Amino acid sequence: MAPRAHPGCTTSAIDFLVIGSGVAGLRAAVGLSRRGRVLILTKGGPAEGSSIYAQGGVAVAPEEDDIALHREDTLRAGKGLCREEAVQILVEEGPSRIQELIEWGARFDKVGGEYALAREAAHSRSRILRAGGDATGTEIVRTLLKRARSLRRIAWREHHFTTNLLLDHEGRCAGAAVIDESTGILTSIPARAVVLSTGGAGQIYARTTNPPSATGDGIAMAYRAGAVVEDMEFVQFHPTALYVPGTPPFLVSEAMRGEGGILRNIRGEAFMRRYHEMAELAPRDIVSRGIWNEMMETRARHVYLDVTHLGPAFIRKRFPTIYATCLRYDVDITEEMIPVCPSAHFMMGGVKTDVHGATSIPGLFGAGEVACAGVHGANRLASNSLLEGLVFGARAAEAAGGYATKHGSKRKDQPEMGTSILSKREIPEPTDWDKVLNSLRRLMWNKVGIIRNREGLLSAITRITEWEDELRGLCRTRRDWEIQNMMTVGRLVATAALRRTHSIGAHFRSDESASRSAVRNRHIQLSTATLEDRPAEIHLN
């Protein structure tokens, strides 16, 4: 059942805007409700985000000695580009956020009365807490939704697409411009502070485990407003997505390899020992490239994940969602190997924030996959993403609440809410933008994918820039804006990948430069100022 807005909380009376309703956004909204009235904006319905698709689990280290190990595992996976303060906060505050969920009614799996803890790639211990076997994201979202719906200060507006952030004359974020998807009415909604929690941008790639809603909207709108984005070259490709021609990629959880699943090429050969001593439990970037190399060498479009030796009863109980989904596509994973190949999965980069969720724009905060607090570095450790959403969603709420208190209730130059109907006049002969979008996604997959080089990156940037120029000023609908946002994010990923001339973590250059010193241990930051883009005219009058 969809959440209902409290009738006494209107958009003209809200204090805080939360854009996005995944784990990070819901946790931020719950925290902000202690400070004032909150409006959650979400395009489409509440079940369209990525959080509910998280299968493997949430990494948590309840024991003091394992907190240090969790920190080290995270730093090791990040290849020297994690911000240590952010990682320390993640592992120290994570257990409290999980305990909070349990108190709110979250039902995590147990074995013999104790919580079941699994192990995934690059983790030195079993610390992955799960729910429903492979439905952890769904359970966490259910719990947070129930909690948020119980709070009268939280209101929702579903099917409301945020096009741009609004700035006051001092350059502070003071609200957002929003389209009602059902009427086409454009509304400016003022707020004392805004929290971005719009998720990732996997849809910029031809193959992705992300849902259709993952179009990079938050990153693009923050960038247009002048915010700094960081680490955009680091896109994590999940090694194992179901490969069945004619069907969308479906994530086959890393937990399957954690339970003993074996990767085999189309000849039936186990191959991961050739690429890393940890074999199937090597970091994700290494497993993805290992699979890619096997596909190239055998001229195949996929490899196999073999779990048949684990036993039918165990498989059906431990991985009920994966079992049922694969069976729907005529793959019985208890009897036959699963055809898999890598797919774009997670953005390690995003809108740069500090450890409190503050961006470079005063009044704008971010949490979750849209943000880059420095937790993941060059390569995300498995199952840290849900934890990141919980920890930094709560922190962003505290910081946004404090900011609003410090800067008063309403500034003199902040107008009341206004509305207008989007004009459909003066639009030239329509371009087939869905066709262009398909071309963009193929271009990103081929030129800015798992393996990159200078020539491919330059060609991608050139072509995307041409498309952006053609679309500029023509956005009227949610789909128009999504396509523009994907173009913007695609260009940012390609630009950052071009600037980082060496391979590290999830970023792999086949033409790696001999000179490594320039940016090896630095974060690549981009903004409208550094790329000389013309800033969008989205200030409030």
Residues with a known catalytic role: 284
Q: Could you tell me which residues come within 8 angstroms of residue 414 by beta carbon, excluding any fewer than 6 positions away?
A: 168, 174, 175, 190, 540
CA atoms of 356 and 401, how far apart (whole Å): 11
Strands (E), 367-518: 371-372, 418-421
Concatenating the DSSP letter of every residue in 13-28 gives G-SEEEE--SHHHHHH
Residue 195: exposure state from Cβ atoms within 10 A (0-12, 13-18, ≥19)? buried
CA atoms of 161 and 217, how far apart (whole Å): 9
Residue 430 gets the label, from left (phi > 0), alpha (psi -120 to 50) or beta, of beta
- Classified as helix, coil or strand, 431 is coil
Q: Which residues are registered as beta bridge partners of 59? A: 128
3-state secondary structure 452-481: ECHHHHHHHHHHHHHHHHHHCCCCCCHHHH
Residue 270: exposure state from Cβ atoms within 10 A (0-12, 13-18, ≥19)? middle
* Residue 20, amino acid: G
Q: List the Cα angle 321/322/324 in 5-degree steps.
A: 65
User: In the chain, how long is the greatest CA-to-CA distance?
Assistant: 70
Task: Using DSSP bridges, classify how beta strands 154-158 and 38-42 pair: parallel, antiparallel or unpaired.
Answer: parallel
CA-nearest of 349, 234, 211 to 285 is 234
CA atoms of 489 and 501, how far apart (whole Å): 19
CA atoms of 443 and 524, how far apart (whole Å): 22
